[in-house]
Amino acid sequence: MARGLLTTASTLLLSMRALADDWPFMTFQSAQINPPKMEVKKTGTTDPGYIFVGPRGNQPEGIAALIYDDDGNLVYQGPTEVTANFKVQKYANEDVITFWAGNMMDLGFGYGTVHILDNTYREIYTVTLPGDFVSPDGVARDSYIDLHESHVTTRNTLLVTAYNVTQFDLTAIGGKVDDYMLDAMFYEIDIATNEIVYSWSALEHIQAIPLEQSKQGLGEDYGTVEKPWDAYHINSVELMDEGYIISLRHYWSGYYVHRNGTVMWRLSGERDVGDFQIDDAGIFSWQHDIRVYNQTSEGMTIDLFNNANTPTETVAPTTGLSLAVDLVNRKVTTLRTMNDGEDVIHSVSQGSYQLMSEQTNHVFLGYGSITKVKEFDANNNAVLTAQFGEENAVASYRAYKFQWRATPFWPPTVVAKRSSNSATLHMSWNGATEYDNWAIYTASSPDSMEHTFITSVKRTGFETAGDVRNLRTPYLQVVARKGNVPLGSTVVPVA
Ligand SMILES: *[C@@H]1O[C@H](CO)[C@@H](O)[C@H](O)[C@H]1NC(C)=O
Ligand SMILES: *[C@@H]1O[C@H](CO)[C@@H](O)[C@H](O)[C@H]1NC(C)=O
Ligand SMILES: *[C@@H]1O[C@H](CO)[C@@H](O)[C@H](O)[C@H]1NC(C)=O
């Protein structure tokens, strides 16, 4: 075991060393929100979609679920809260938004709840994990879902991770008889009923995943309830045909867990470790986000985010990796490596790999502790880079790019400033993706039905400004439209 390689405290919670935060924030007249500016650079043809991030860390504003278009315009800011895995997924064949929200522990995991919203942003399901978990701060909670995974399966269940503090005899690896460590667990929960349909614990499979194989040194001040040893660091779970594949960052490995609980094989990022011969290009470490495609009895494609670095060790560029796993010959061959040679990134924690489309083969990488995202084309060339905060001062655990169509259940917001008989309007509709123009009508009262069309203004990003002259009524009705089709409206006083 790699002793002295102490990385736990900041594996996920970024180090708060970078104090200065000069990153610019957006301001609007019609919305009291200040999301970070999204600086976008396009260097090729991108796939359509919006950028989904959930920043947190050393910044005054914008700690929320955020959607931007790929020109950097804000589309949506959710409530102020620490989020993770903010993304679009399919539930019962419909596009829904899912995200984790809750409390981060200093040790690099969290306790929270998974929220599922429809395309009006109404919460349709709230998934929780109650139970007899032990947490480092001793606080009892209603839900212990960890932030690392919230994956909706084709059988309408949710796969989540959980961390539990457990006392364990660590004398065999140089610790104490009464040390505390973190168990790595995952759960499959039925979304409609919140019922647990499957659970698994790494500590219950200690023969298959021995503690001495952990790359995470015990460290000096670890082993208490407050600072338990994070031997495994589970950070992704996905369905396999007969079970699950999990990512254990602190073992540099993915494990296939049969649904009967047995660990069937280990795919290690190290040469001559685990059950496969891995080629040189496929070497990985401290990884995140293991995803599986095209599974057959003979093999599959496995994608992952290869951090290759820790807060204490910078080793190699962080890459996106796509691997062909040959179950017959027990070999792993590298299919794709994504690394922008113009902007090499060393991400010490967090991160994500998203295959955007099996038609275009574009891949979207979120760089975790480095506040950047990149889109790569089928030839592994970076076609988009976007940044939304200071590197290592702010992070988004994962980041995604998805197509998304939403018309919020709340109305647009409008502020009107009058001067003599004209008015200046600022109009926005947080979260709305479908409208392309604003129509403005006169109104004699807030609930008047007699409206006269004055003008229409083309949408410009999150907020649109417009002027009205020869104003004769004390109110204006402002309608967000797609072409001539009204989607939402607000009446605003201009008196
Ligand atoms: C968490 O660990 C404690 C021991 O520290 C144990 O009693 C409890 O059952 C565990 N919780 C779960 C959900 O496994
Ligand atoms: C689980 O299933 C696999 C595949 O059939 C088998 O090899 C393994 O022995 C099973 N384990 C248990 C505990 O039944
Ligand atoms: C899955 O297989 C199809 C058909 O061979 C192929 O077009 C596609 O690229 C594969 N997907 C991945 C992620 O390997």
Q: Looking at residue 259, which CATH number applies to its domain?
A: 2.120.10.30
User: What is the CA(291)–ligand 3 centre distance, in A?
Assistant: 13
Residue 437 near residue 456, CB atoms below 8 Å: yes
Pocket test for ligand 1, best of 132, 145, 178 (most atoms within 8 A of CB): 132
Q: How many CB atoms lie within 10 A of CB 293?
A: 12
Domain co-membership, 374 together with 481: no
Domain co-membership, 277 together with 193: yes
Domain co-membership, 170 together with 23: yes
pLDDT at 20 over 50: no
Q: What is the DSSP letter of 10?
A: H
Count of all residues that appear for the chain in the document: 495
Q: Would 428 be classed as within a structural domain? A: yes
Residue whose Cα lies nearest atom 6 of ligand 3: it is 358
**Cross-strand partners of 439:** 456, 479
What ligand has the least distance to the C-alpha of 336?
A: 3
User: What is the CA(191)–ligand 1 centre distance, in A?
Assistant: 23
User: What is the CA(261)–ligand 1 centre distance, in A?
Assistant: 18
Domain co-membership, 302 together with 250: yes
Domain co-membership, 456 together with 343: no
Domain co-membership, 308 together with 369: yes
Q: Would 407 be classed as within a structural domain? A: no
User: What is the CA(265)–ligand 2 centre distance, in A?
Assistant: 12
Domain co-membership, 125 together with 200: yes
Q: Would 233 be classed as within a structural domain? A: yes
pLDDT at 18 over 50: no
Q: What is the pLDDT of residues 327-378, one digit of tens each?
A: 999 999 999 999 999 999 999 999 999 999 999 999 999 999 999 999 999 9
Q: Of 11-20, 235-244, 253-262, 266-275, where does mean pLDDT reach its minimum?
A: 11-20
pLDDT at 1 over 50: no
The domain boundary residue, chosen from 355, 371, 402: 402
What ligand has the least distance to the C-alpha of 297?
A: 2
Domain that holds residue 442: 413-493
Distances (CA, A) of 315 to 183, 286, 318, 492: 28, 11, 9, 58
Residues lining ligand 2, Cβ inside 6 A: 258, 260, 262
User: What is the CA(300)–ligand 2 centre distance, in A?
Assistant: 20
Residue 310 near residue 286, CB atoms below 8 Å: yes
Q: Would 477 be classed as within a structural domain? A: yes
Q: Would 446 be classed as within a structural domain? A: yes
The Cα 394–Cα 25 span in angstroms is 13
Q: Is the CB of 327 under 6 A from ligand 1?
A: no
Q: Would 94 be classed as within a structural domain? A: yes
pLDDT at 284 over 70: yes
Q: Would 408 be classed as within a structural domain? A: no
Domain co-membership, 328 together with 240: yes
Q: What is the pLDDT of residues 87-143, one digit of tens each?
A: 999 999 999 999 999 999 988 999 999 999 999 999 999 999 999 999 999 999 999
* Closest to 323 in 3D by CA, of 364, 273, 269, 368: 269
- Tokens 């890459």 found at: 319
Strands (E), 105-178: 110-117, 123-127, 150-152, 157-168
Residue whose Cα lies nearest atom 11 of ligand 1: it is 133
Mean pLDDT of 184-188: 98
Q: How many domains does the chain have?
A: 2
Determine what percent of the chain falls in helix, strand and coil, rounding each to the nearest 5: 5, 45, 50
Q: Of 20-24, 228-232, 389-393, where does mean pLDDT reach its minimum?
A: 20-24
pLDDT at 95: 98
pLDDT at 60: 76
Residue whose Cα lies nearest atom 8 of ligand 3: it is 358
Q: Model confidence at 21, in pLDDT bands (50, 70, 90)? A: low
Q: What is the pLDDT of residues 439-492, one digit of tens each?
A: 999 999 888 777 899 999 999 999 999 999 988 899 999 999 999 999 999 999
Q: Quote the tokens at residue 436.
A: 């392309």
Q: What is the DSSP letter of 8?
A: H
What ligand has the least distance to the C-alpha of 260?
A: 2
User: What is the CA(336)–ligand 3 centre distance, in A?
Assistant: 13
The Cα 152–Cα 150 span in angstroms is 7
The domain boundary residue, chosen from 402, 429, 445: 402
Q: Quote the tokens at residue 353.
A: 């790999």
Domain co-membership, 335 together with 375: yes
Q: Which strands sit side by side in the sheet containing 422-428, from one edge to the other?
A: 413-419, 422-428, 463-468
Contacts of 20 (CB under 8 A, 6+ apart): 390, 393
Q: Is 289 left (phi over 0), alpha (psi -120 to 50) or beta?
A: left
Mean pLDDT of 415-432: 95
Burial of 49-66, coded b for 16+ CB within 10 Å and e otherwise, reads bbbbbbbbbbbebbbbbb
Q: Is the CB of 347 under 6 A from ligand 1?
A: no
The domain boundary residue, chosen from 352, 370, 402: 402
Name the maximum alpha-carbon separation found in the chain.
84
Q: What is the DSSP letter of 15?
A: P
Considering the entire predicted model, what is its pTM?
A: 0.95
- Tokens 């072409």 found at: 483
User: What is the CA(272)–ligand 2 centre distance, in A?
Assistant: 25
Q: What is the DSSP letter of 177?
A: T
The Cα 211–Cα 283 span in angstroms is 22
The Cα 111–Cα 127 span in angstroms is 12
Distances (CA, A) of 410 to 99, 192, 416, 426: 20, 25, 19, 17
CATH, residue 473? 2.60.40.10
Domain co-membership, 432 together with 353: no
Residues lining ligand 3, Cβ inside 6 A: 293-294, 301, 355, 358
**Ligand 1 atom closest to the CA of 201, numbered from 1:** 14
Domain co-membership, 423 together with 396: no
pLDDT at 13 over 90: no
User: What is the CA(255)–ligand 2 centre distance, in A?
Assistant: 15
The Cα 159–Cα 54 span in angstroms is 20
Decide: helix, strand or coil at residue 146.
coil
- Tokens 């259940």 found at: 409
Mean pLDDT of 297-302: 98
What ligand has the least distance to the C-alpha of 361?
A: 3
**Ligand 3 atom closest to the CA of 355, numbered from 1:** 13
The Cα 97–Cα 13 span in angstroms is 24
Domain co-membership, 283 together with 388: yes
Residue 334 near residue 344, CB atoms below 8 Å: no
